[in-house]
Amino acid sequence: MAESLVTIATFNEPTEAHILKGRLEAEGILCFLGDEHIIGAYPLYAMAVGGIKLKVTENDVDEAKTILRRIWQGNTLFDYDTLDEMAPPEPEPAAAEAVLCPRCGSDQTKEKPYFLQAFFGPKYECRSCLHRWKP
Ligand SMILES: [Zn+2]
């Protein structure tokens, strides 16, 4: 079913209209600008045609107005709930293979960073008994 477009704001300046359009698109809202080109070509016509219209689909009117209101109130912080939806899924943590200490059998071992191994020798250190060894 075709949705109709609803004008949620008008602007005299194409720049402001584009900035807010981009901001709404970043939130996943499909939007369009109406009468942008006539006002771009003849800025004095802005008043005559009623400004550049920022339009969204009927379903997005409430959300888009909420976002615009937040911007105009000076609260431009991202909605972190929305950001989570947009962020790529976090990779599964690699199943770290526990290295067991050869002396005490503890799995509380740590691998030294590679550059430190060049100076300090042994690659692993046990946090329980402080034993150091190379695999
Ligand atoms: Zn140990």
How many domains is the chain built from?
A: 2
Answer yes or no: do 62 and 105 share one domain: no
Helix, strand, or coil here: 43? Answer: helix
Answer yes or no: do 69 and 97 share one domain: no
- Helix axis angle for 61-72 and 14-26, nearest 10°, is 120
What pTM, to 2 d.p., does this model score? 0.53
Per-residue pLDDT, 81:
58
As separate numbers, helices (DSSP H) first and strands (DSSP E) second, the chain gives 6, 6
Q: State how far the Cα of 134 lies from the Cα of 66, in Å rounded to an integer.
A: 60
- Expressed in angstroms and rounded, the spacing between residue 116 Cα and the centre of ligand 1 is 20
Per-residue pLDDT, 54:
95
Query: What are the average pLDDT values for consecutive 10-residue runs of the chain, which has 135 residues?
Result: 86 90 93 91 87 94 90 67 57 67 89 75 85 84
Domain residue limits at 131:
93-135
Answer yes or no: do 109 and 132 share one domain: yes
Answer yes or no: do 56 and 80 share one domain: yes
- Expressed in angstroms and rounded, the spacing between residue 101 Cα and the centre of ligand 1 is 5
Q: State how far the Cα of 104 lies from the Cα of 97, in Å rounded to an integer.
A: 17
Answer yes or no: do 82 and 97 share one domain: no
Answer yes or no: do 65 and 33 share one domain: yes
Answer yes or no: do 109 and 73 share one domain: no
